[in-house]
Structure 1
Amino acid sequence: MDIALFSPSSLFHDEDATSSDEEKVDDSQTYVERSHQFPGMELLVREFSFHQMNANLLWPGTFAFVDWLVQDKSKIQGRRIIELGSGAGALAIFLKKLYQVDITTSDYDDQEIEDNIAHNCKVNGVTPVLPHIKHSWGDPFPNPHSEWDLIIASDILLYVKQYPNLIKTLCFLLNSYKPQNTATHESQDTHSELPRPAFLMSWRRRIGKEDESLFFTGCETAGLQVQHLGSRVYCITPTKSAICDICD
């Protein structure tokens, strides 16, 4: 995967209102602990001082996504959720604490990322820790059948060259999903704004319009539908007759 030529910390050049001014740095300078303010709660998040996959800091899109999600809890309650590009795990931890949702974290195949998410779960009172799947986009997914009816992500469109691999993973998760309980599935759908399955993502403007177009065009070519829900939040779903050639 390409390595970013800038540090995500540059996105926080102004003091972000969602983060505290105080930082705790451990003796080895490997981690930084920051208090971040989320709607209705404060989370203490241990972040890498640096990580080559940009899994070290909370990206701005996380907070924008949270603001959108909490407007209506029916968007996510009762769903089985997996987050792609979980990073430090803050979004998943917040949703678990606020709504007690069934949520799994996922990120690049890296043990340090998994261990750090587990640490952040524990210090914020989420025990047992959230289930985690190590998965590099485009590789065969560890679970042969998708168990999640809602996939979420924020600020994951940085690496343009990874779009085909991301779309391949999305195709698998969306097209291989089968509800575990059809009756419950249909009943819950009547109360949900989002179809099952669906990929819900948000980000702050960090890429050019041409790059955005590459991703959305790639999704449509792969048999996925793209819907803009507002506030830079997008819902991506498989077409009814989707045959995802890119997954072959």
Structure 2
Amino acid sequence: MDIALFSPSSLFSEGDGEEDHVCAGEENTDVEDTHVERRHQFPGMDLIIREFSFHQLNANLLWPGTFAFAEWLVQHKSCIEGRRIIELGSGTGALAIFLQKSFHLDVTTSDYDDIEIEENIAHNCRVNKVPVIPHVRHVKQYANLIQTISFLLKCYKPSKGTSSYPPKENNGDVVLPKPAFLMSWRRRIGKEDESLFFNGCEGAGLEVQHLGSRVYCITPRENEKSET
């Protein structure tokens, strides 16, 4: 794992007031009673994504922050080209599918420990003509999420000369270290929740850097990295 991507929409309840993303084409509500199929516009392509009409774990919708994050990643594609990526909180799998089709990346999806989510991601892969993306399950809670991030970052052993802490710019482009946790904090989340997550990361020995456009990079602190 070189980069972990995260758009944390499925961690929080609905009803945050954020505007809906405008989809291209028409909805297909006849797929199943429990699903709705929509055509969504991503940079350079349309994807057909099956979403849950309702899901108890809130992994049902494709949130607007996903599209903003996709735009940012396209603008800074050198950050992700040629890297292995795990996406935490994949929901429908749309972002991972977009990255696989656009950049042919080695991507792994993950979300709650729920077979319906995993099967729906696999369905969306097949509909959009990409190989079914490997998937792992995790649990819903800040503490466990932070523990997972910390483990993934600190257990990674980059080749000599490949790490660079913290992220930096080169000719206007962002250069990320290996490994890195890249996340989009797009939804209208309360300051208390936001502080809880970021303070938890810092307490776990991780460094949080804002890269702009509500995109953040999380890496191990240099002293924490040297101790592992």
1:207 match: secondary structure:
coil
1-side partners of 2:109 and 2:223: how far apart?
29
Q: Choose from 129, 132, 135 the match for 1:132.
A: 135
Q: Which amino acid aligns with 2:72?
A: W
1:242 match: secondary structure:
helix
The structure that is strand-richer by fraction is 2
Q: Which amino acid aligns with 2:50?
A: R
List gaps (5 residues or longer) in structure 2.
1-9
Q: Which residue of 2 aligns with 1:109?
A: 113
2-side partners of 1:194 and 1:130: how far apart?
24
- Superposed displacement of residue 183, structure 1: 6.0
Q: Give RMSD over aligned pairs.
A: 2.6
Going from structure 1 to structure 2, the CA distance change for 1:229 and 1:3 (only over 3 Å counts) comes to closer
1:68-96 deviations in Å (ceiling 9; x for gaps): 11102111001110000000000000000
* Structure 1 outlier segments of 4+, above 2 Å: 2-8, 10-13, 182-186, 189-192
Scaled by the length of structure 2, what TM-score is found?
0.83
- Superposed displacement of residue 63, structure 1: 0.7
Does 2:65 match 1:86?
no
Going from structure 1 to structure 2, the CA distance change for 1:88 and 1:5 (only over 3 Å counts) comes to closer
Q: Which amino acid aligns with 1:238?
A: P
- Superposed displacement of residue 51, structure 1: 0.7
Does 2:189 match 1:207?
yes
Q: Which has the higher contact order (CA 8 A, sep 6+)?
A: 2
Going from structure 1 to structure 2, the CA distance change for 1:184 and 1:35 (only over 3 Å counts) comes to farther
Number of residue-to-residue matches in the alignment: 210
Percent of pairs with identical residues: 65
- Superposed displacement of residue 4, structure 1: 5.9
Counterparts in 2 of 1:41-190, with a 5 A limit? 41-127=45-131, 129-136=132-139, 162-179=141-158, 182=159, 185=162
Going from structure 1 to structure 2, the CA distance change for 1:104 and 1:7 (only over 3 Å counts) comes to same
